[in-house]
Structure 1
Amino acid sequence: MKLLFPRPRGGLFAAAALAGAALLTACSPIKIVNGLTPSSTYGFEGDIGYGAAPRQRLDVYTPLPASMAANGAKPLVVFFFGGTWSNGDRASYKFVGEALASRGAVVVIPDYGLSPVFKYPVFVQDSALAAKWALDNAARLGADPKQVYVMGHSSGGYNAAMLALDARWLGAVGGSPKQFAGWIGLAGPYDFLPIENPQAQVAFNWPDTPPDSQPLAHASAAAPRTLLLAATKDKLVNPVRNTGQMATKLRAAGVSVETHEYDDLSHITLIGNVAKPLQWLGGPVLPPVLAFVGLPAGR
């Protein structure tokens, strides 16, 4: 299913959109967004080790009783942040944790090894270890172990895709993609050889990048159900080559794929739109994510 969410570009909406874009590209945009994000709408357990390395730490956001589903079953979403595998940290994505936990999901946001210190496949291996921790601890956290999802934005969407599509990574830590109820990619790069981005070149040791590092190479009938979201005017990750090709190949293999394309969002505002302070930017992005993981899709 392909859904488009166009918005008028004139008048007050255009001014608001420009203001939001400016907010997200300011000196400390995520700090501003997180500062405006409620802190009383979820439970929190932070700085948990999923491995021994300094970057192998994660935070957990849990729903308050009032936001639990009527049957008590809660999905668990492991969210991987973007940053060209070169920057970012879990604390900066409080707004994602709040958006999902306040509506009934348990959310795990891990750090992972970043380039140039760590290169492919270390960040995928870290992501697999974090996802395995989430699978093993889902019941303890109050989530349904059969409703675990991996989700990511930009390079984090790549991480999520590799875990969902390439069984090597979870298999190495005693897990399997079959344990996922689905995966969610927001503006993820799934087919990007030859590599042009300088940071990505370092992260993947270009030109000695193995062809099987590309998620699209692993799209098959074994993939879990899939939700793909992209901005049609994304200038950083080509939505046709990446989201479009992934959707086409998975559907051809018989996988259930839902896609949403947004004319009024950019690569950055696609993820920013899930934050309460920025949901007026366009979209909406959060409702299809909530619906995909089995939660009420109210904005």
Structure 2
Amino acid sequence: MDTISLHGFTLERQPAPPVKAAEAYSDTALRLSAQPMPGIVSHRDIAWGPEPWQRFDVFAPEGVTQALPVLVFLHGGGWVVGWKEWGGFMAPAVAAAGAILVCPTYRLAPAHRFPVNLEDCLDALAAVKERIGDFGGDAHHIYVGGHSAGGHLAAMVGLRRDLWRGRIGKELRGILPVSGILDLVQANPAPESLEAAVYSTVLANPADDVAASPVTYAADLRMKLLLAWGEHDSQRVKASNAKMAAALSSMGISFDSMRLAGLDHFDTHLVLQNAGHPWYSVLSRWIAGQT
């Protein structure tokens, strides 16, 4: 595996991110994740299979005396780039909310096209469920979230119950996509656009755009859901979250949502270094069993 060293992490070398702003985001997320985290015990590169991508990082509070709920958070990167190390900086805030953070990786397009990434995420959840007790986690109390493409995958994990096949079940309590891309359907996307790349690079079959869209499965929501997006997010994120919210509301299905004032597509994740952010208030409320 060809590797590079960034902020003390040894990472698989990847192509440049699909948009320029993502480079600054990546550098910031890695820098934050490399900082010391007092009170947090880090377990990195836990293998759940023989392949390099079959790894997850676990971040647990020191001195855990009872099994804690688990937040599995999936990295973004347009399904074509991304490292699990982008999410580690959330650990202190997740711990303050009363949970353990797990950051897995998954295979990337174009070498591995959808639905390979979704199957990887489901397999990762199964591995977390099996192993998390070793790190002080409660295998019966799991949430899944993610940023951007990771938000899309988190939503698919929670909504596609027909794909669970014993890998995950009622222990999955809620979904938290942050700036998630919830509708992949785009008629006549502009050439070279991110929307066009979904068809040319991400999907194994371009005709699967509907089947690969979380909004298609809105009626199948059977757990808690928090939709979060930025005021200055990408248009497709804002539109797809609005479409999901409208679909759920039309069916009388309850969910939480928050529009993050003043934030763009990358700020919505980086702001989660702040334990006092309202996003964590929702997670804490869920953990406490409050509606």
The ranges of structure 1 where at least 4 consecutive aligned residues each deviate by more than 4 angstroms after the TM superposition are: none
1:51 aligns with 2:49: yes
Post-superposition offset of 1:266? 1.0
One-letter code of the match for 2:68? K
Which moves more between the two structures, 223-232 or 44-53? 44-53
Post-superposition offset of 1:286? 3.4
> Whole-Å Cα distance in 2 between the matches of residues 49 and 98 of structure 1?
23
Unaligned runs of 5+ in 1: 1-21
Cα deviations across residues 205-238 of structure 1 (Å, max 9, x unaligned)? 4634352111111112542111111112212533
Contact 2:229/2:237 (8 A) holds in 1: no
Q: 1:222 to 1:264 in 2, by over 3 A?
A: closer
Corresponding residue number in structure 2 for 1:19 = none
Contact 2:39/2:62 (8 A) holds in 1: yes
1:214 aligns with 2:213: yes
Cα deviations across residues 84-113 of structure 1 (Å, max 9, x unaligned)? 001111123220233313543111110100
Q: 1:24 to 1:115 in 2, by over 3 A?
A: closer
Where 1:144 maps in the other structure, the secondary structure is strand
1:191 aligns with 2:183: yes
- 2:272 is matched with which residue: 274, 281, 293? 274
Cα deviations across residues 5-34 of structure 1 (Å, max 9, x unaligned)? xxxxxxxxxxxxxxxxx9983783223323
Q: 1:132 to 1:255 in 2, by over 3 A?
A: farther
Contact 2:184/2:210 (8 A) holds in 1: no
Q: TM-score, normalised by structure 2?
A: 0.80
1:132 aligns with 2:130: no
1:87 aligns with 2:96: no
Where 2:177 maps in the other structure, the secondary structure is strand
> Whole-Å Cα distance in 2 between the matches of residues 23 and 129 of structure 1?
27
1:181 aligns with 2:167: no
How many residues get paired? 263
Q: 1:49 to 1:199 in 2, by over 3 A?
A: farther
Post-superposition offset of 1:63? 1.4
- 2:58 is matched with which residue: 33, 57, 60? 60
> Whole-Å Cα distance in 1 between the matches of residues 22 and 116 of structure 2?
32
Q: TM-score, normalised by structure 1?
A: 0.78
Contact 2:180/2:241 (8 A) holds in 1: yes
Corresponding residue number in structure 1 for 2:261 = 263
> Whole-Å Cα distance in 2 between the matches of residues 76 and 27 of structure 1?
24
> Whole-Å Cα distance in 2 between the matches of residues 194 and 206 of structure 1?
14
Contact 1:124/1:163 (8 A) holds in 2: yes
Cα deviations across residues 157-185 of structure 1 (Å, max 9, x unaligned)? 111111100123322xx234433111111
Where 1:219 maps in the other structure, the secondary structure is helix
1:231 aligns with 2:230: yes
Identity of aligned residues (%): 25
One-letter code of the match for 2:91? G
Q: 1:115 to 1:27 in 2, by over 3 A?
A: closer
One-letter code of the match for 1:230? W
> Whole-Å Cα distance in 2 between the matches of residues 210 and 24 of structure 1?
27
Q: 1:192 to 1:248 in 2, by over 3 A?
A: same
> Whole-Å Cα distance in 2 between the matches of residues 119 and 31 of structure 1?
25
Contact 2:97/2:283 (8 A) holds in 1: no
Contact 2:70/2:100 (8 A) holds in 1: yes
Q: 1:147 to 1:256 in 2, by over 3 A?
A: farther
Contact 1:147/1:181 (8 A) holds in 2: yes
> Whole-Å Cα distance in 2 between the matches of residues 116 and 286 of structure 1?
34
Post-superposition offset of 1:140? 3.3
1:289 aligns with 2:287: no
Contact 1:78/1:109 (8 A) holds in 2: yes
Q: 1:153 to 1:140 in 2, by over 3 A?
A: same
> Whole-Å Cα distance in 2 between the matches of residues 102 and 41 of structure 1?
10
1:28 aligns with 2:33: no
Contact 1:114/1:123 (8 A) holds in 2: yes
